[in-house]
């Protein structure tokens, strides 16, 4: 059985231009601008929300993010809730994809042994 991979090729082609909308984002974003771009999305987040997004994308637990940011776990959870609502993205994998796409984290980070 052959798999349809046309959507993958379309997504890869879109990655060449950072001003295009990010794949997997809602078709009707919450802002009024019809030309919604990843750059505009990241700009609507607060600095703290971007920091929390970075922790999520790096696979770090909320407890570690809270410890390193000197805030409570509940506050991390609230920032995470706000950024998912602002971006319209749910789930760790899509959030990680977005963070890589906008350059918040590198695509090929150096792995360190545990």
pTM of the predicted model over 0.85: no
Over the stretch 46-99, which tens digit does the pLDDT of each residue have?
999 999 999 999 999 999 999 999 999 999 999 999 999 999 888 899 999 889
Over the stretch 20-54, which tens digit does the pLDDT of each residue have?
445 554 444 444 444 457 878 888 899 999 999 99
Q: What pLDDT is recorded for position 32?
A: 44
Query: What CATH number is given for 37-107 in this structure?
Result: 1.10.10.10
pLDDT-based confidence at residue 4 (cuts at 50, 70, 90): very low
Q: What pLDDT is recorded for position 112?
A: 62
Q: What pLDDT is recorded for position 48?
A: 95
Q: What pLDDT is recorded for position 53?
A: 94
Long-range contacts of 74-78 (CB under 8 A, 24+ apart): 76/52
The b-or-e profile of 17-39 (16+ CB within 10 A means b, else e) is: eeeebbbbbeeebeeeeeebbbe
Q: What pLDDT is recorded for position 13?
A: 46
Higher-pLDDT residue of 9 and 51 is 51
């Amino acid at each position: 059985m052959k798999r349809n991979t046309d959507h993958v090729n379309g997504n890869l082609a879109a990655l060449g231009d950072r001003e295009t909308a990010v794949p997997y984002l809602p078709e009707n974003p919450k802002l009024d601008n019809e030309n919604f771009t990843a750059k505009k999305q990241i700009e609507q987040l607060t600095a703290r929300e971007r920091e929390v997004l970075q922790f999520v994308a790096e696979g770090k637990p909320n407890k570690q993010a809270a410890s390193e940011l000197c805030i409570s776990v509940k506050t991390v959870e609230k920032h995470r809730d706000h950024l998912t609502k602002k971006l319209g993205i749910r789930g760790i994998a899509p959030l990680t994809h977005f963070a890589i796409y906008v350059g918040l984290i590198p695509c090929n980070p150096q792995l360190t042994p545990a």
